[in-house]
Amino acid sequence: MAAPVIAIDGPSASGKGTVAREVANALGFHFLDSGALYRLVALAALNRGVDLEDASAVEDIARDLKVVFSADAVLLEGGDVTNTIREERVSNAASRVAALPGVRKALLGRQRAFRQAPGLVADGRDMGSVVFPDATLKIFLTADPAERARRRYKQLIEKGISANIDALLEEICDRDARDSQRTDAPLQKCADATELDTTGMSVEAVVAKVVQSYNKRASKAP
Ligand code: CDP
């Protein structure tokens, strides 16, 4: 039987990454940060000066991506890009390359390979809808845009990356629009996902809620 999956989807800066990682730690599950894959494709394209509109060149990059995820670092072609992939220029490029169907297709197998015993927590936009439609639990995490901009600001400043909160809010809204309006795997809540609005909630409270929902669901599984 395939290992269980908890799919956590939602708009940018909704806290999915932090929550998913902590839920994985709490349950001893593996963790997939699918957004990092789109960020890596975008960074590789930017580094090589590839036009982001050139679908076939970007698809080639996605197919041949040489990436290693370790416990606390992401390596692209051997170089540490853990912080670089979080820069806003990469975030924006990521949401552009993510709109290319060939790129999404090229990354599908790589994402599914993370599904291993004892289980996986996967974070993204289409984890519950496309990549793991049979996930045991599907969560759609949201928060209002102003709170998301504040969270992203704090996260960047803590990493020593300079940021402007108004510009972040504008970029978050643009990215929401682009991610929701694309034709292939748009950001949307699946019918069988539980929506969790995290505005004003602490990370611990959100993690506890997801773990509790999973345990309840798993205890009922055949
Ligand atoms: O951290 P944040 O939520 O802002 O972004 P992310 O999860 O790292 O994703 C970066 C970009 O990759 C998003 O804006 C999406 O366009 C894209 N993405 C996607 O299309 N599908 C996924 N499963 C994950 C990310």
The domain segmentation of the chain, as residue ranges, is 5-213
Span 35-83, pLDDT tens digits: 999 999 999 999 999 999 999 999 999 999 999 998 789 999 999 999 9
Q: What is the pTM of this model?
A: 0.91
C-alpha 176 – ligand 1 centre gap (Å): 10
Q: Is the pLDDT of residue 150 over 90?
A: yes
Give dist(CA 41, CA 166) in Å, integer. Answer: 27
Provide the 3-class DSSP secondary structure of residue 31: strand
C-alpha 220 – ligand 1 centre gap (Å): 31
Q: Under 8 Å CB-to-CB from 164, ≥6 apart: which residues? A: none
Structure confidence at residue 222 (pLDDT): 64
Residue showing tokens 């979080």 = 86
Distances (CA, A) of 150 to 8, 42, 127: 21, 24, 25
> Considering the domain 5-213 in this protein, what is its CATH number?
3.40.50.300
State which ligand 1 atom lies nearest to the alpha carbon of 127. Answer: 23
